[in-house]
């Protein structure tokens, strides 16, 4: 089996690569690439994202054919794809970080700045926070409710259809921290930085 981590120059993804390789051991081939043919032929794709919504969308668009290839992979061919942090946020129709920026449009909704309630909550939201699992998700198999995950973000995904939400976390309000829609999965938290529970989520995705 081939799992491809999309490398589109969106910041440091070494911890994502290392954690996937640690979980995969020698059983699964982990490829890190922006080669369109390799992405197309892989069994699963991981879309990481660090930095701003706009910078990540721009970086995707800078590689000719990459957005079309991801659409073909996830939407047309319905193969499993996992978005991490801004990788998840880009599923939305639109994001409002820096400038209004069009997203991939896979999940109807928007990405807006977390309401920090006039400074009552620090932004970015950094550190460990509790996962409140609101629906069964294939990637949460063996994960206890209220497990702690590691977050670094100032913006949140607000989907129009709440049925795609698989977990929330309480920070200023109920923030969406994971989604599952058919073959598309996403986590706002960083599973690669979330200790054993995070590695278990990665393992669940690899073993889908």
Residues annotated as part of the active site: 85, 190, 192
- Residue 96 CA, chain-centre distance (Å), reads 18
The CA distances from residue 137 to 27, 72, 169, in Å, are 24, 23, 15
The H or E element containing residue 17 is: helix 14-24
Rounded to whole angstroms, how far apart are CA atoms 159 and 80? 20
- Pairing of the two strands 81-84 and 184-187: parallel
Rounded to whole angstroms, how far apart are CA atoms 58 and 63? 9
Rounded to whole angstroms, how far apart are CA atoms 185 and 205? 9
- Residue 65 CA, chain-centre distance (Å), reads 21
Cβ contact 49:10 at 8 Å = yes
Classify the phi-psi angles of 176: left when phi > 0, otherwise alpha if psi is within -120 to 50, otherwise beta.
Answer: beta
Cis peptide before 124 (omega within 30 of 0): yes
């Amino acid at each position: 089996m081939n799992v491809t981590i999309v490398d589109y120059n969106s910041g440091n993804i070494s911890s994502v690569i290392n954690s996937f390789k640690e979980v995969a051991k020698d059983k699964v081939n982990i490829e890190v690439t922006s080669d369109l043919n390799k992405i197309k032929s892989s069994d699963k794709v991981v879309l990481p994202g660090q930095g701003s919504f706009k910078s990540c969308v721009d970086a995707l668009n800078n590689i000719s054919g990459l957005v079309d290839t991801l659409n073909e992979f996830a939407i047309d061919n319905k193969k499993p794809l996992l978005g991490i942090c801004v990788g998840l946020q880009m599923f939305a129709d639109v994001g409002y970080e820096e400038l209004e920026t069009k997203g991939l449009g896979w999940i109807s909704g928007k990405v807006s700045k977390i309401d920090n309630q006039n400074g009552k909550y620090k932004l970015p939201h950094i550190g460990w926070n509790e996962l409140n699992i609101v629906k069964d998700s294939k990637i949460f198999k063996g994960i206890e409710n209220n497990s702690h995950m590691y977050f670094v973000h100032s913006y949140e995904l607000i989907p129009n259809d709440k049925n795609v939400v698989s977990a929330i976390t309480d920070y200023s309000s109920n923030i969406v921290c994971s989604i599952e829609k058919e073959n598309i999965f996403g986590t706002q938290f960083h599973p690669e930085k979330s200790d054993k529970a995070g590695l278990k989520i990665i393992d669940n995705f690899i073993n889908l």
